[in-house]
Amino acid sequence: MAVPNKEVVASLTERSTDPLRSISLSPSRRFGVIAGKDNLQLVKISPDGLKRLRLLNITQYLQTNVPSGERQSQPAKYGDVRDTFGLGVPKQSTQRTMSHGNIAVTCAAWSSLQQTEQQASETSDQTPSLDAEKANSIIAAAGSNGVVVVWTSGSFFPGGGGGSMGNPQPEGYLNQHSRAVNSLAWHPRQPGLLLTASQDATAKLWHRKDSIDRKGEDKRKKSNWFANKANTKDSKVYQWKCIATFKPKNEAIRDIQWSNFQDDIFALVTVSGSLIVYNRYIGMRALAKVAAHDGDASCLDFHPTQPYIIATGGSNDNRVKVWDLESNITMSKKDDHNISVNAGTLNTIRSETENSANSVSSHDTDKSTPRLETSNSSNGIRSLNGFSQNSSTLSNTTLSRHSKVSSPLSLHVLSISAAVTKIKWRPSASSVMDDDEVDRHESMLAVASARQASAGGSGVLGLWSCDRPFMPLSVVEGHEKGAIGDFVWLETPYRNTKPTSHPLVSSAEPMDKSRSGSVGRYSPSTTTDGTVVLRGSLRGDAESILFDNKEKDDERRAAPRIWQHILSVGRDGRCLVQSLVRGERPMSRIPPSCFALANLSPFQTGYGSLQVFSVYQNVPKGAENDMKLTGLRRDQYTAQAPGIFKEEMSDEEMEFDRSDGLDFFEPGRRFPDTSPELVFNVVDGGKLDSSGLPINEDVEAICIAPEVLHLSRFASSYQLYPDSELTARVDLCLHNAGIAENLRRDSLARMWRSIASMMQGAGLDELPKAGTSIAPTNVMQFVLLPTVKSLLLERAEAGDVQTCVAVCEVLQVIDSDQNTKIPGLDITLLREWYLSYIDLLEQMCLFSASAFLIQRCNDPVIGAMNQNSTTIHESCSTCGKPLQPSTEPGGTTRKVCKTCRRPVGMCFLCHQPVTALYVWCQGCGHGGHLECALKWFGGFESEPPREICPTGCGHRCNFQKMNS
Decide: is 668 part of the binding site for another protein (CB under 8 A).
no
Interface segment toward another protein; rule CB under 8 A; list 393-401, 483-491, 700-708, 935-943: 700-708
What values do phi and psi take at 756, rounded to 5? Answer: -60, -45
| Nearer residue to another protein within complex by CB, 123 or 604 | 604
Task: Please name which of 141, 843, 861 lies closest in space to residue 486, comparing C-alpha atoms.
Answer: 141
Decide: is 861 part of the binding site for another protein (CB under 8 A).
no
First to last CA, the chain: 63
Binding flags for another protein, 625-664, as an x/- string (CB under 8 A): ----------------------------------------
Q: Which of 615, 623, 783, 883 binds another protein (CB under 8 A)?
A: 615
| Nearer residue to another protein within complex by CB, 500 or 691 | 691
Secondary structure E strands in 47-202: 49-57, 105-112, 137-143, 148-152, 172-174, 181-186, 193-198
Q: Which of 701, 791, 930, 953 binds another protein (CB under 8 A)?
A: 701
Interface segment toward another protein; rule CB under 8 A; list 40-48, 180-188, 263-271, 701-709: 701-709
| Nearer residue to another protein within complex by CB, 601 or 727 | 601
Least CB distance to another protein at residue 617 (A): 6
Binding to another protein (CB under 8 A): which residues in 711-730?
711-713, 716-717
Q: Which of 835, 919, 948, 953 binds another protein (CB under 8 A)?
A: 835
Apex 894 CA angle, 893 and 900, nearest 5: 175
CA distances to 36, 293, 456, 576 from 453, rounded to whole Å, are 21, 16, 7, 22
Half-sphere exposure of 859 (CA within 13 A, CB side): 24
Least CB distance to another protein at residue 274 (A): 23
| Nearer residue to another protein within complex by CB, 623 or 693 | 693
Decide: is 791 part of the binding site for another protein (CB under 8 A).
no
Least CB distance to another protein at residue 792 (A): 10
| Nearer residue to another protein within complex by CB, 13 or 593 | 593
Interface segment toward another protein; rule CB under 8 A; list 39-47, 61-69, 422-430, 709-717: 709-717
Q: Which of 232, 500, 675, 963 binds another protein (CB under 8 A)?
A: 675
Cis ω on the peptide bond leading into residue 672 (within 30° of 0)? yes
Q: Which of 799, 824, 882, 891 binds another protein (CB under 8 A)?
A: 799
Decide: is 612 part of the binding site for another protein (CB under 8 A).
yes
Question: Do 90 and 454 touch, CB atoms closer than 8 A?
Answer: yes
Question: Do 739 and 718 touch, CB atoms closer than 8 A?
Answer: yes
Decide: is 851 part of the binding site for another protein (CB under 8 A).
no
Apex 489 CA angle, 459 and 558, nearest 5: 160
Q: Which of 276, 534, 627, 704 binds another protein (CB under 8 A)?
A: 704
Least CB distance to another protein at residue 308 (A): 26
Q: Which of 8, 804, 949, 957 binds another protein (CB under 8 A)?
A: 804
Q: Provide the total of helices (H) and of strands (E) in the chain, helices listed first.
A: 26, 33
Decide: is 412 part of the binding site for another protein (CB under 8 A).
no
Which value, to the nearest 10 degrees, does the dihedral of the CA atoms of residues 921, 922, 926, 931 take? 30
Integer-rounded Cα Rg, in Å, for the chain is: 41
Least CB distance to another protein at residue 960 (A): 11
Decide: is 666 part of the binding site for another protein (CB under 8 A).
no
Interface segment toward another protein; rule CB under 8 A; list 19-27, 234-242, 510-518, 834-842: 834-842
Binding to another protein (CB under 8 A): which residues in 812-831?
826, 828-829
* 855, burial (CB in 10 Å: exposed 0-12, middle 13-18, buried 19+): exposed
Binding flags for another protein, 470-499, as an x/- string (CB under 8 A): xx----------------------------
Strand partners, 239: 209
Tell me how far apart the alpha carbons of residues 753 and 731 are, in angstroms, rounded to a whole number: 10
Decide: is 1 part of the binding site for another protein (CB under 8 A).
yes
Decide: is 621 part of the binding site for another protein (CB under 8 A).
yes
Binding to another protein (CB under 8 A): which residues in 385-404?
385-387
Question: Do 151 and 162 touch, CB atoms closer than 8 A?
Answer: yes
Decide: is 700 part of the binding site for another protein (CB under 8 A).
yes
Chain-centre distance of CA 815, in angstroms?
Answer: 60
Cross-sheet strand order for the sheet of 297-302: 297-302, 309-314, 319-324, 412-415
Least CB distance to another protein at residue 661 (A): 15
CA distances to 244, 248, 441 from 284, rounded to whole Å, are 10, 8, 36
Decide: is 455 part of the binding site for another protein (CB under 8 A).
no
Burial 244-266 (b: 16+ CB within 10 A, else e): eebbbbbbbbbbbbbbbbbbbbb
CA distances to 177, 430, 950 from 526, rounded to whole Å, are 43, 11, 71
| Nearer residue to another protein within complex by CB, 594 or 654 | 594
Decide: is 754 part of the binding site for another protein (CB under 8 A).
no
Least CB distance to another protein at residue 101 (A): 36
Least CB distance to another protein at residue 759 (A): 25
How many residues bind another protein, per CB under 8 A? 96
Binding to another protein (CB under 8 A): which residues in 869-898?
869
Binding to another protein (CB under 8 A): which residues in 319-348?
none
Task: For residue 232, count other CB atoms closer than 10 A to its CB.
Answer: 8
Least CB distance to another protein at residue 438 (A): 23
Decide: is 958 part of the binding site for another protein (CB under 8 A).
no
Decide: is 770 part of the binding site for another protein (CB under 8 A).
no
Decide: is 840 part of the binding site for another protein (CB under 8 A).
yes
Decide: is 681 part of the binding site for another protein (CB under 8 A).
yes
Interface segment toward another protein; rule CB under 8 A; list 177-185, 255-263, 338-346, 589-597: 589-597
Question: Do 821 and 786 touch, CB atoms closer than 8 A?
Answer: no
Secondary structure E strands in 621-702: 677-681
Decide: is 591 part of the binding site for another protein (CB under 8 A).
yes
Decide: is 783 part of the binding site for another protein (CB under 8 A).
no
Helix (H) or strand (E) holding 739: helix 729-742
**CB within 8 Å of 541: residues ≥ 6 apart:** 642
Q: Which of 399, 726, 770, 793 binds another protein (CB under 8 A)?
A: 793
| Nearer residue to another protein within complex by CB, 21 or 321 | 321
Which value, to the nearest 10 degrees, does the dihedral of the CA atoms of residues 310, 315, 319, 323 take? -20
Decide: is 607 part of the binding site for another protein (CB under 8 A).
yes
| Nearer residue to another protein within complex by CB, 125 or 707 | 707
Half-sphere exposure of 646 (CA within 13 A, CB side): 7
Cross-sheet strand order for the sheet of 474-479: 419-425, 444-450, 459-465, 474-479
Percentages (nearest 5) of helix, strand, coil residues in the chain: 30, 25, 50
Task: Please name which of 489, 420, 512, 501 lies closest in space to residue 459, comparing C-alpha atoms.
Answer: 420
Tell me how far apart the alpha carbons of residues 894 and 903 are, in angstroms, rounded to a whole number: 9
Interface segment toward another protein; rule CB under 8 A; list 204-212, 332-340, 699-707, 923-931: 699-707
What values do phi and psi take at 397, rounded to 5? Answer: -65, -35
Decide: is 584 part of the binding site for another protein (CB under 8 A).
no
Least CB distance to another protein at residue 674 (A): 10
| Nearer residue to another protein within complex by CB, 166 or 386 | 386
* 127, burial (CB in 10 Å: exposed 0-12, middle 13-18, buried 19+): buried
